């Protein structure tokens, strides 16, 4: 798939590597299917103008962690409570 996009863009592997700021070996590995990192896939997709693919990698965030934290504080989520010193059991001598 990446090879076809590169050829359609009339780029050599070396030119694509330079545009994506990757090594030539990273491009060859991606095109040959011998393994590559997510960083390589993202860099090549951007260099080939396929940013729309990146939106498909992660769905939009539906829940904000900060909003969840604030909501739990408002709901009075039970917290750990230490026993006061006067209620602690004291061992008899």
Per-domain residue ranges for the chain? 2-74
pLDDT of residue 51: 82
Residue 16's nearest CA partner among 33, 26, 51, 53 is: 26
pTM, full prediction: 0.58
pLDDT of residue 93: 61
Query: Which residue is associated with the tokens 């004291």?
Result: 90
Class for the domain spanning 2-74: mainly alpha
Backbone conformation region of residue 47, classed left if phi is above 0, alpha if psi is from -120 to 50, else beta: alpha
53 close to 43: Cβ distance less than 8 angstroms: no
Q: What is the mean pLDDT of each run of 10 residues along the chain (93 residues)?
A: 90 94 94 87 91 76 80 66 66 62
Residues whose CB is less than 8 angstroms from the CB of residue 60 and which lie 6 or more positions away in sequence, other chains included: none
pLDDT of residue 7: 92
């Amino acid at each position: 798939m990446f090879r076809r996009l590169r050829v359609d863009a009339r780029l050599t592997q070396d030119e694509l590597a330079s545009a994506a700021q990757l090594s030539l070996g990273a491009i060859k590995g991606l095109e040959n299917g011998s393994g590559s990192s997510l960083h390589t896939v993202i860099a090549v997709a951007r260099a080939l103008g396929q940013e729309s693919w990146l939106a498909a990698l992660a769905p939009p965030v539906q829940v904000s962690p900060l909003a969840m934290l604030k909501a739990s504080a408002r709901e009075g989520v039970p917290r750990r409570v230490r026993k006061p010193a006067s209620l602690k059991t004291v061992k008899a001598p």
